[in-house]
Structure 1
């Protein structure tokens, strides 16, 4: 299918002679995934679809309790401090954005009355502004009305560098104007092709001005709302024990008719993925378990009990390793892994390249993750037009040894390579979880064959993914030589996902380690390409710029992608849950129901 044929198909969708679903299937046949096809329709001003899960209950309430397991326990409830996915999932119970992403990559209105398009006057042709019309009649949980003032305030709050929000990158380069009580206009400094970032999805959750207005900037961590949220969501706050559990109750004034279905909500944190899977698939004690990072054979055995089912949703997430090019063992100005330092051995590109060759990705996929992931060498894997065709992986111990030999790293009497008195000995950390520990063990064994000694470290997930600035074991502090985790692509466009590669997002003491660039590594050419992509309206040129960002980090072997991850959850057979690979698990929690 050529460009003219694609345009003809778009015209047929507009005319109503071709369904959106048929268009998406046609695009899939030529290698364009559903999220990308949906974005093509959006860019061409085709109206968005409704949410993907048909909602059948005829009244709100009556569903009894809904019990969810997050084995990585939430530790805070302010969405703009929620660096970890577990915390983003928790905050989305209470707070809502203007719109979210469904599983096909469609933008679905939430607090907005409609999605902006050129036809409805929301999108400026020059890419310089977006106008959002807000839903009327929405109330905060305390009864106060939701208005444009709350949207403007959320922009001011997140854009303030002193707030040290993890969402700052989505808000600092725009201006938000109140047109009237139910209309806001976003003004960009330059043409912005991907305008659906601020106020959308996990980074877009709106805060009530009347609760957070006195807690901006340096006072942001003092707000009672950080732990006792008052939002617009389908469930109202009852109780929160950080690192343990959340209890909520149905919001009787929710702004969507006949929703939510459940009367109460319990989110239990802690434990591990295996016990979470068992509690849903075997015992039926809980209704839904998130992120079942469990070996494939174990999941199949549990499913055989017949009480629950595994749900696999495609996503842009990636399981990967970061190699630290800063020094995690030397403290400078109150922080380790400072950009002011240089790693004594991993700063050598030859060492990083050798480690990448010592990862048996295909075995990790086949014997550990199964349905949960596909081996990859690319940080960005979805949608397909943003994936590099150049990046390849291989597992070759002999080649790794040769590279280290040629770089002057010689094996000592203990079999460990060294050079200039520095040994290739590394601490490799990740969260405590069986598949990850097995992955670590596979990599450690291969590294031993190349004269590299690996000390394995595992950290309880609720600690590892915590946003606690006082905790030295968080992944964002990165006080280790190498670390592994899954990072979430929060939308079907990788621009925000790739801000993990830019210099101004480097995690450090000043931003309370909430910067998105955990690696601390940067490249002026990456910064240049990323900034150009933010303003490039030609989709082909823009994709090429973002691919360059991905390729630079992967070819430098700072990022070592392992698996393109699917979202694997477990649900009771009676539960109807709307899960998206482009948004957090609770993005459409109001539409969940029991049959």
Structure 2
């Protein structure tokens, strides 16, 4: 199959979102005074290259920028680049072993000096330095060399074909830094460059005037920002510390701040805060899915240690597709969302809920069907022959141990799901484990989610960026946790399907965007709809808060939440 380019979401090669705001609110830079942001985790440095912390990455994103970003839909959009390179426009080689970026003309650093490809190449050298300990080194995996063509063009060469060539210089984790400012900061010297790390010269809408680690950052509008009408705000205060409750109140109740990040609060608490009238909660969705994993192997303690939950012993009843489907049919997903997440959740049947390119139109599971589940179990031969309320077949009772981590929302989910499963004749024992144990991975512990000494377990995870290939590859045959791997491995439910593995191989060879989407949807449907090995429940979103007077905000789960701060403005009465 001919290789084409991967765009990790539909490419938007023109203006940044939201374009509608730009036309309606153009005016003099700095016209709207001050904007105030509060993050209940305080930034300690202004570069993602020396920190993996979200609060550091997002604060830095106001000042230093990449060649391209992901927009709110996961699409690639150019920032410092003139366009997103593709095979179609000649920017990505046909063999997928190189990508050529072209800078916009006339870009200036905040100190007034020109941005050139020398800065781009230096950024790679900075992060790839063997003594540097760069927090974003994985972005440069497979980079063999970088060739400067001229001041505005350069080519990144990879050691092997890269269907996804958008690691280096893409997204908030991989911004361009100024070569002149960081010239003496390579390798082991990087952490010692306090002035550069706290006050980077950038191309973004703002520039730092005062940085107080773990407290507050003062910024002003960048006088050399590429759009003369932006940013609308002359100054920005970035306050850190406290907790989510205090941050939410500061925006929605008192109006002291304009934007608060990551409101990990119950829906009723958020609703009460919003009654203050000064701000509103906003939410957006990425790829975080709360789901049930079905154990396809036998976890019985009657088996010898080392054989429990291994492919040596199929599960006595969850090996039956009709049983797994019945368990899914009995669940009321909209009610789970209402109880646990409110606007921060939505019911889903997909393991990969986004971006739209990769999201299947599978909606079959969204309607609860208790009677249909009963009928399916009847069809499978499971009946309540002794009147105890529990179905059985050939002496095997439908008795489930259902485990998850200790968390108020998850225990609410367990109680609801237990009741629904009881209604269809399934006996349920609930178990919750301390998260540090459940997710700890200790090969000596019987209680880890990898060891899976239960019939069903519930948790959530997601994947970095917008391309699901590595995520879906977790369910390849042979990748299951087992004694020989010290119970490490990503194939938690011990799933194995030849068609699935063949499609994974095809996906790894495919670069054409639409074709990748088709393959990913098929993979998703195999493991969720066609086998019910994974039973998705809730597509969990992120919630932040914005002032009712702050316009232009577009919450983004694929990049920095502050990705389009240049477009923010103060709404007038």
**TM-score range for the pair, normalised by the shorter chain length:** 0.5 to 0.7
Task: Give the corresponding residue for 1:575.
Answer: 550
Task: Give the corresponding residue for 2:3.
Answer: none
**1:103 is the counterpart of 2:72:** yes
Alignment of 1:21-60 (within 5 A): 39=11, 47-52=13-18, 53-54=21-22, 56=26, 58-59=28-29
**Distance between the aligned counterparts of 1:345 and 1:171, measured in 2?**
42
Gaps of 5+ in 2: 1-7, 300-305
C-alpha change, 1:163 and 1:269, in structure 2 (3 Å) is: same
**1:551 is the counterpart of 2:525:** yes
Task: Give the corresponding residue for 2:428.
Answer: 452
Is the 8 Å Cα contact of residues 80 and 166 (structure 1) preserved in structure 2? yes
Deviation at 1:77, TM superposition (A): 7.8
Task: Give the corresponding residue for 2:535.
Answer: 560
Question: Number of aligned pairs?
Answer: 519
**Distance between the aligned counterparts of 2:288 and 2:266, measured in 1?**
17
Task: Give the corresponding residue for 2:170.
Answer: 200
C-alpha change, 1:344 and 1:82, in structure 2 (3 Å) is: farther
Match for 1:388 among 360, 363, 366? 360
State which structure, 1 or 2, has the greater radius of gyration over its C-alpha atoms: 2
C-alpha change, 1:229 and 1:385, in structure 2 (3 Å) is: same
**1:247 is the counterpart of 2:222:** no
**Distance between the aligned counterparts of 1:438 and 1:550, measured in 2?**
27
**Distance between the aligned counterparts of 2:476 and 2:212, measured in 1?**
38
1:201 aligns to what SS in structure 2?
Answer: coil
Deviation at 1:114, TM superposition (A): 4.3
Match for 2:289 among 313, 319, 325? 319
Match for 2:84 among 107, 115, 127? 115
Task: Give the corresponding residue for 1:264.
Answer: 237
1:443 aligns to what SS in structure 2?
Answer: helix
Q: Deviations over 1:114-136 (max 9, x none)?
A: 43367975344565532113465
**1:484 is the counterpart of 2:459:** yes
**Distance between the aligned counterparts of 2:224 and 2:459, measured in 1?**
40
Alignment of 1:343-422 (within 5 A): 349-350=319-320, 356-366=328-338, 368-389=340-361, 392-393=364-365, 395=368, 399=373, 402=377
Bigger mean CA offset, 553-562 vs 351-360: 351-360
Is the 8 Å Cα contact of residues 46 and 199 (structure 2) preserved in structure 1? no
Deviation at 1:81, TM superposition (A): 9.1
**Distance between the aligned counterparts of 2:401 and 2:462, measured in 1?**
26
Q: Deviations over 1:495-532 (max 9, x none)?
A: 56656656999999xxxx999x5958675754543343
Bigger mean CA offset, 178-187 vs 477-486: 477-486
C-alpha change, 1:139 and 1:292, in structure 2 (3 Å) is: same
**Distance between the aligned counterparts of 2:488 and 2:36, measured in 1?**
32
1:147 aligns to what SS in structure 2?
Answer: helix
Is the 8 Å Cα contact of residues 320 and 484 (structure 1) preserved in structure 2? yes
Q: Deviations over 1:328-353 (max 9, x none)?
A: x9xxxxxx9x9999999799545866
Q: Deviations over 1:241-262 (max 9, x none)?
A: 4xxxx53232676762554643
**Distance between the aligned counterparts of 1:140 and 1:268, measured in 2?**
30
Task: Give the corresponding residue for 1:308.
Answer: 279
Deviation at 1:379, TM superposition (A): 2.0
**Distance between the aligned counterparts of 1:87 and 1:408, measured in 2?**
57
Task: Give the corresponding residue for 1:284.
Answer: 255
Deviation at 1:106, TM superposition (A): 5.1
2:238 aligns to what SS in structure 1?
Answer: strand
Deviation at 1:376, TM superposition (A): 1.6
Deviation at 1:152, TM superposition (A): 2.6
**1:129 is the counterpart of 2:103:** no
2:506 aligns to what SS in structure 1?
Answer: helix
C-alpha change, 1:457 and 1:590, in structure 2 (3 Å) is: farther
Deviation at 1:111, TM superposition (A): 4.0
Deviation at 1:296, TM superposition (A): 5.4
Deviation at 1:547, TM superposition (A): 1.6
**Distance between the aligned counterparts of 2:291 and 2:33, measured in 1?**
42
TM-score by length of 1: 0.64
1:560 aligns to what SS in structure 2?
Answer: strand
**Distance between the aligned counterparts of 1:403 and 1:165, measured in 2?**
55
C-alpha change, 1:203 and 1:238, in structure 2 (3 Å) is: closer
Is the 8 Å Cα contact of residues 321 and 485 (structure 1) preserved in structure 2? yes
C-alpha change, 1:60 and 1:495, in structure 2 (3 Å) is: farther
TM-score by length of 2: 0.66
**Distance between the aligned counterparts of 1:309 and 1:550, measured in 2?**
34
Deviation at 1:238, TM superposition (A): 2.7
Task: Give the corresponding residue for 1:10.
Answer: none
**Distance between the aligned counterparts of 1:530 and 1:583, measured in 2?**
26
Task: Give the corresponding residue for 2:109.
Answer: 138
**Distance between the aligned counterparts of 1:504 and 1:213, measured in 2?**
41
Bigger mean CA offset, 301-310 vs 227-236: 227-236
2:235 aligns to what SS in structure 1?
Answer: coil
Task: Give the corresponding residue for 1:66.
Answer: 36
C-alpha change, 1:539 and 1:346, in structure 2 (3 Å) is: farther
Is the 8 Å Cα contact of residues 353 and 557 (structure 1) preserved in structure 2? yes
**Distance between the aligned counterparts of 1:444 and 1:425, measured in 2?**
10
Alignment of 1:170-185 (within 5 A): 171-179=140-148, 183-185=153-155
**Distance between the aligned counterparts of 1:544 and 1:392, measured in 2?**
19
**Distance between the aligned counterparts of 2:337 and 2:156, measured in 1?**
43
Deviation at 1:377, TM superposition (A): 0.7
Is the 8 Å Cα contact of residues 550 and 570 (structure 2) preserved in structure 1? yes
Aligned-residue Cα RMSD (Å) equals: 6.0
1:585 aligns to what SS in structure 2?
Answer: coil
C-alpha change, 1:586 and 1:307, in structure 2 (3 Å) is: same
**Distance between the aligned counterparts of 1:364 and 1:294, measured in 2?**
16
